[in-house]
Amino acid sequence: MCLAIPGKLFEIFDENGLKMGTVDVNGAKTRACLEYVPDIQIGQYTIIHAGFALKIIDEEEAAESLKLWQELIESGAFQPDDDLSSADSL
Amino acid sequence: MKYIDEYRDPLLARNLLEEIKRKATRHWTIMEICGGQTHSIIRNGIDQLLPDSIELVHGPGCPVCVTPLESIERALLIAAKKDVIFTSFGDMLRVPGCSKDLFMVRSEGGDVRIVFSPLDALQIARDNPLKEIVFFAVGFETTAPANAMAVYQAAREGIENFSVIVSQVMVPPAMCAILSSPDNRVQGFLAAGHVCAIMGYEEYEPVAREFNVPIVPTGFEPVDLLAGILKTLELLEEGRSEVVNLYRRVVSREGNRFAQETIRKVFEVRDRQWRGIGLIPGSGLGLRPDFSRFDAEKKFNVTHICASESPQCKSGSVLQGILKPDACPAFARECTPEHPLGATMVSSEGACAAYYNYHRNAYSL
Amino acid sequence: MTIAPACPLPLMQHETVQMAHGAGGRLSQTLMQRVFMPHLHNSFLDLLDDQAKLELPAGRTAFTTDTYVVSPVFFPGGNIGELAVNGTVNDLAVGGAIPLYLSTGFVLEEGFSLVALETIVMSMASAAQNAGVIIVTGDTKVVGKGQCDSIFINTSGIGTIREGVNLSCCNLKKGDCIILSGTVGDHGMAIMTSREGLSFQSHITSDCAALNGMIGKVLDAVPMIHAMRDPTRGGVAATLNELAHSSSVGIEINETSIPVKPDVRGACELLGIDPLHVANEGKLVLVVPAECSETVLNVMRAHEHGRDAVIIGSVVNDHPGMVVMRTVFGSRRIVDLPLGEQLPRIC
């Protein structure tokens, strides 16, 4: 099970001596252990797997990657007005 | 949904696909390691959209699929015991042993419960002091920190009625085993993004050099996968056997040091059997002697383990990318999710299950 | 002899169901008088006969039954009682019937709270009134502690089938539009939220509702609807597969057109569940001739239970018996039946 879901931390608390948090995933909330992201702040995004926050999502890197890929449109590599439904013909 | 929707943007996906088409000058075979990536590819039809020059083969990144038959059989025997509460991730319940699965043990009266976190299993142990709670600790490096913490915490609190069946496997040795095989066709890898979130990608650099393959840590959403495929293709076309990180918002070169530390405290590297593949040296984790009292296989001392696989099942070849699921003679005939011959047909990360659930009509059956 | 209780003694919090409440003797009568009759009384039930004597309108009659074992019994947006009424009303209505009469049978676990039971009965009364049906006969049994989980309810229903309406899952024709009345997955995820042992919370509420009012308006406007189903267990995926299989046609749907509430989507992502596989208790799938689809949509959207109605796909001759989804990327994948219990005891 390698799927980890991104969510926003909105609460931190202690339970059984472990640092725990409540993470909001689009309105659904889940508890997660924060021991592996000790520096996480409320409002930051993290990925949750098996009840644990594994990494703080680096928002700058995320923006940078998207920008890079977006530049492919601007570079004129293809026509962005192409009807996506013609993807079948790829 | 933030950090999901942007990576499911059809326009961005289309950009990346067009670039892939433009850049591919010959046939390349790329393997995605992780079963979660396989499912995302098949579910979103990415393999359908790629040009024929790019062939994706599916790797053994399904920890449920590679859990040895002996471990499953031990789990079934332990789960059937009175006064045992057997806990597991949901996937494991339908994985076939020699003659039954955990689901059947439950219907025969075994107390088998699905948990979403090993900490939930620990809580069950706190709530049921007179029962023995066993957790099936299956996973790759992504799940190892969670499983390690449960054991570490049990030790810290002195919880004695908790134990784990460990089936932890590691990606780099499996990658090397595939690349060392004489049948290997894989020329480039999409490395498992969340495994790399934990372990970093330093350990892939010697693999890339030794075997002359590009390795690209990649995420799971369609845009991430296409970006990973594009980068791998670029590296292949340029003859560059490097590790280039395409999942930068989550993966760093050194990974998560806190998680690695806890894994090291609780587990040690072992040789490991991979179901359908065989022994891969140094590819697994086992509990350190300090924590061996939490080893369920020792605690319950179950013997008389049957270990005969269905002769028809070709999971091993599927897991190594040698055979596509729908090329297996039993696919969708004798082997379906209702009557699986092997684990790859039931796990949420199994390639056979992905093909069956999303693809079946593409092959006139 | 009719019973018209004026002011029953209020139930005490500690009062619970006893074995004797199901034995047919004095305590059974007490249970009837204190819990059931104050809320369910009508000219049929007040007679306390072993059967209800009904006069049915001429024409075809529809008859259905369903048993409700949902856990937990009280969930966000409803409880087992209103589920039991609405579910059976809907099963009649999707066959083109006007629901008229319901029976209800209870199996109660010894020790179940009487206050909880009364709340459930009140909900049933309210749901029945809202749906315009009468509960005309019923039965109660009590089993020992541990022999059932809290409360199970069976409801059976009778309705009279509208003239000129022929709804069947065998009626699908190439070119028909598939209409969905609103967001998917609300009920199943509301149940998930309230299951103990899951570290997961949300504000998702069940969509449990009687749909016969909306269905009536739709059939008044467009009697020639081909098929109608309410996608309960197995979700929209199961319903579409059953329709495709029964009519030996293919169905194609568009991923972008499936409405899902944001928190339901978040919950499904967290749990690794496909919203199309999740149970609904207040939604409809309709299969209508293409030329009628706009009228149907307008009628539905004017109704409280159809505000988000949308066309999600169409019937095709390709891949008979299979449901195929066109992804946002333009690729295609199968939408299969879920294997088994994603969420046990969902309804």
Closest to B331 in 3D by CA, of B289, B363, B293: B363
What are the residues facing B287 on neighbouring strands? B267
Domain residue spans of chain A: 5-77
CA distance A30 to chain C (A): 4
User: What phi and psi values does residue C108 have, to the nearest 5 degrees?
Assistant: -110, 140
Measured CB to CB, residues of chain A less than 8 Å from chain B are 1-6, 8, 16-18, 25-26, 33, 35-38, 45, 47, 49-52, 54-55, 57-59, 61-62, 64-66, 69-70, 72-73, 77-78, 80, 82, 84, 87, 90
- Binned at pLDDT 50, 70 and 90, residue C273 comes out as confident
pLDDT value for A76: 56
pLDDT value for B63: 86
- In sequence order, the 6+-apart residues with CB closer than 8 A to the CB of B239 are none
Mean pLDDT of B323-330: 91
Contact of B230 with A10, CB cutoff 8 Å: no
Q: How many CB atoms lie within 10 A of CB B320?
A: 24
d(CA B207, CA B228): 18
Domain containing B333: what range?
A: 315-362
Residue B75 lies in a domain: yes
- Binned at pLDDT 50, 70 and 90, residue B264 comes out as very high
For chain B, give the number of residues: 365
Cβ <8 Å between B49 and A90: yes
Residue B310 lies in a domain: no
pLDDT value for C47: 85
Closest to B340 in 3D by CA, of C339, C144, C130, C304: C339
What pTM does this model have? 0.89
How many structural domains comprise chain B? 3
Assign A32 to helix, strand or coil.
strand
User: Which of B87, B223, B357 is the best mutation test for C, with the most CBs of C within 10 A?
Assistant: B357
Contact of C215 with C165, CB cutoff 8 Å: no
Please give the residue of chain B at the shortest CA–CA distance from C325. Answer: B358
Mean pLDDT of B19-36: 94
Assign C254 to helix, strand or coil.
strand
How many structural domains comprise chain C? 2
Residue-wise pLDDT tens digits, B352-361:
988 888 876 5
Q: Are residues C204 and C275 in the same domain?
A: yes
- Binned at pLDDT 50, 70 and 90, residue A88 comes out as very low
Residue-wise pLDDT tens digits, C182-226:
999 999 999 988 876 666 788 899 999 999 999 999 999 999 999
Closest to C288 in 3D by CA, of C280, C304, C303, C299: C299
- Binned at pLDDT 50, 70 and 90, residue C33 comes out as confident
Contact of C287 with C315, CB cutoff 8 Å: yes
What CATH number has the domain bearing residue B94? 3.40.50.11740
Assign B218 to helix, strand or coil.
strand
Cβ <8 Å between B10 and C329: yes
- Binned at pLDDT 50, 70 and 90, residue B364 comes out as very low
**Element holding B121 (H helix, E strand):** helix B118-127
Which of C262, C319, C331 faces B45 most closely, judged by CB atoms?
C331
- In sequence order, the 6+-apart residues with CB closer than 8 A to the CB of C294 are none
Whether the predicted pLDDT of A81 surpasses 50: no
pLDDT value for B93: 83
Q: Are residues C267 and C198 in the same domain?
A: yes
- Binned at pLDDT 50, 70 and 90, residue C345 comes out as low
Contact of C120 with C81, CB cutoff 8 Å: yes
pLDDT value for A82: 43
Which of C199, C261, C331 faces A30 most closely, judged by CB atoms?
C199
d(CA A36, CA A52): 8
d(CA A70, CA B11): 9
pLDDT value for C10: 65
Domain containing C70: what range?
A: 19-161
- What ipTM, to 2 d.p.? 0.92
**What DSSP state is assigned to residue C16?**
B
pLDDT value for A80: 42
Q: Are residues B280 and B335 in the same domain?
A: no
pLDDT value for B239: 96
For residue C293, give both structure tokens.
Answer: 């689809």
**What DSSP state is assigned to residue C337?**
P
Closest to C281 in 3D by CA, of C32, C9, C16, C78: C78
Q: Which strands form C97-109's sheet, in the order they lie side by side?
A: C61-68, C151-161, C97-109, C134-143
Cβ of B11 under 8 Å from any chain C Cβ? no
Whether the predicted pLDDT of B343 surpasses 50: yes
Cβ <8 Å between B10 and C262: no
Residue-wise pLDDT tens digits, B131-149:
999 999 999 999 999 999 9
> Percentage of chain C with pLDDT > 90?
79
Mean pLDDT of C231-244: 96
Residue where a domain terminates, one of B237, B263, B282: B237
Cβ of B106 under 8 Å from any chain C Cβ? no
Residue B180 lies in a domain: yes
Q: Are residues C140 and C195 in the same domain?
A: no
pLDDT value for B362: 60
| AA identity, residue C202 | S
User: In whole numbers, what is the pLDDT of chain B averaged over residues?
Assistant: 91
Cβ of A3 under 8 Å from any chain C Cβ? yes
pLDDT value for C341: 59
Whether the predicted pLDDT of B212 surpasses 50: yes
Residue-wise pLDDT tens digits, C155-187:
999 999 999 999 999 999 999 999 999 999 999
Q: Are residues C153 and C186 in the same domain?
A: no
Contact of A21 with A12, CB cutoff 8 Å: yes
Residue B245 lies in a domain: no
d(CA B77, CA B85): 12
Residue-wise pLDDT tens digits, C290-310:
999 999 999 999 999 999 999
| AA identity, residue C261 | K
Mean pLDDT of A30-56: 96
Cβ <8 Å between C329 and B361: no
Assign A48 to helix, strand or coil.
strand
| AA identity, residue B299 | K
Q: Are residues C153 and C51 in the same domain?
A: yes
Size of interface A-B (CB pairs under 8 A): 155
Cβ <8 Å between B10 and C330: yes
Lowest-confidence range among A7-16, A39-48, C172-181, C190-199? C190-199
- Binned at pLDDT 50, 70 and 90, residue B365 comes out as very low
Q: Are residues C29 and C62 in the same domain?
A: yes
Mean pLDDT of B280-308: 89
Peptide linkage before B222 cis (omega within 30 of 0): no
What CATH number has the domain bearing residue B54? 3.40.50.11750
pLDDT value for C198: 63
Report, at the CATH architecture level, how domain A5-77 is classified: Roll (2.30)
**Chain B: touching chains (3 or more CB pairs < 8 Å):** A, C
CA distance C341 to chain B (A): 11
Give the number of C-alpha atoms closer than 13 A to the C-alpha of residue C122, restricted to the C-beta side: 9
d(CA B194, CA B141): 8
Mean pLDDT of B169-196: 94
pLDDT value for B27: 97
| AA identity, residue B219 | G
Cβ of B13 under 8 Å from any chain C Cβ? yes
Mean pLDDT of C39-54: 89
Cβ <8 Å between C328 and B360: no
For helices C212-221 and C293-301, what crossing angle results, to 10°?
140
Q: Are residues B290 and B156 in the same domain?
A: yes
pLDDT higher for B202 or B336? B202
Q: Write b or e for each residue in A23-35: b if 16 or more Cβ atoms lie within 10 A of its Cβ, otherwise e.
A: bbbbbbbbbbbbb
Closest to B168 in 3D by CA, of B139, B146, B148, B190: B139
Q: Are residues C268 and C309 in the same domain?
A: yes
Mean pLDDT of B281-291: 96
Contact of B325 with B351, CB cutoff 8 Å: yes
What CATH number has the domain bearing residue C86? 3.30.1330.10
Cβ <8 Å between A69 and B16: yes
Residue-wise pLDDT tens digits, B56-99:
999 988 888 889 888 999 999 999 999 999 999 887 888 888 88
Closest to C176 in 3D by CA, of C117, C111, C81, C243: C243
d(CA B197, CA B247): 9
Please give the residue of chain A at the shortest CA–CA distance from B7. Answer: A66
pLDDT value for A87: 37
| AA identity, residue C309 | A
Mean pLDDT of B193-211: 96
Mean pLDDT of C142-149: 94
At which residue do the structure tokens 């409320």 appear?
Answer: A42
Which of C199, C263, C331 faces A27 most closely, judged by CB atoms?
C263
User: What phi and psi values does residue B50 have, to the nearest 5 degrees?
Assistant: -70, 150
**Chain C: touching chains (3 or more CB pairs < 8 Å):** A, B
Residue where a domain terminates, one of C131, C161, C191: C161
pLDDT value for A65: 85
Q: Are residues B343 and B197 in the same domain?
A: no
Q: Are residues B280 and B348 in the same domain?
A: no
d(CA B48, CA A88): 8
Cβ <8 Å between B227 and A65: yes
Contact of B337 with B346, CB cutoff 8 Å: yes
d(CA B300, CA B288): 18
